[in-house]
Amino acid sequence: MPLRPRVVGVPQPAGVGAQRARVYQSLPKPLCTAPCFIILFSTYHLTSKMTFAILLKSRQFRLTLIVEGITMTTVSDKQAEKDAKAEALKARSAAMEAKEKELNAGKTGKGTRTFVAMTRGRSNLEIQYEGFDESQPDTLPKSLSEFMDLAKVSDEQVIVGYLIDGFNSAAYSNASDPISEYVEVYWDDDVKTRFKATIRNYSRDAGVSIEDAVALIKPAYLKGNPAK
């Protein structure tokens, strides 16, 4: 007669976890190889710290197994942890933004602004640094000499390093721009710039994809700027 397992105090699981496998591996081999135990252990597992008993009955023998203090993280627990991290990041971003406003409250006119950010790597530490705020065009320098005055830098080698970094960054941004593949090579540079800006702004403001914006707007650009 086959064994008929009976479970006491074990809820139906939400999923399969690594801890269940560790418990299974820690059990005596003769027990683990019993077909009835394998079926039972595949069906039930713990979802919180508790003590439970698995009672295996048959005409031949009766076995009671006690397993204590096992913790299982359920799907809902993982989602709650994920939501908590998202809320923590949102709160940190809001706090950093408020701090930036406070640090820049007395700054007006052209010049750098103070930014608050986090270091990269495992240990994220809050940092502050000075930089030009591209979201405020009126605060940006308009010439090299003005940049040198505002950035308080006069060393030519340092300036060349800045130029190289800026050039490489701009080149990568242009090459990786998803709108670039829709730009015609024979268009003038100013037409290319306006086309990209138009597509990007329309896509954002109308809430449509880049492809849909191009399909709507590019025919007019092709008509107004034919190949020469």
Q: How far is CA 45 from the centre of its chain?
A: 32
Q: Which pLDDT score, from 0 to 100, does residue 175 have?
A: 81
Per-residue pLDDT tens for 58-72? 444 444 444 444 444
Sequence-ordered list of residues with C-beta below 8 angstroms from that of 203, at least 6 positions apart, any chain:
209, 210, 212, 213
Q: Domain ranges for the chain, please list them.
A: 4-67, 74-140
Where the chain has pLDDT below 70, the residues are 1-75
- Structure pTM? 0.50
Q: Which pLDDT score, from 0 to 100, does residue 26 have?
A: 56
Q: Which pLDDT score, from 0 to 100, does residue 155 have?
A: 95
Q: How far is CA 122 from the centre of its chain?
A: 15
Question: What angle, rounded to 10 degrees, do the helices at 189-206 and 210-224 form?
Answer: 140
Q: Which pLDDT score, from 0 to 100, does residue 173 have?
A: 84
Q: Which pLDDT score, from 0 to 100, does residue 2 have?
A: 46
Neighbours of 56 (CB within 10 A): 19
Q: Which pLDDT score, from 0 to 100, does residue 228 have?
A: 78
Q: Are 123 and 154 in contact (CB under 8 A)?
A: no
Per-residue pLDDT tens for 20-33? 555 555 555 544 44
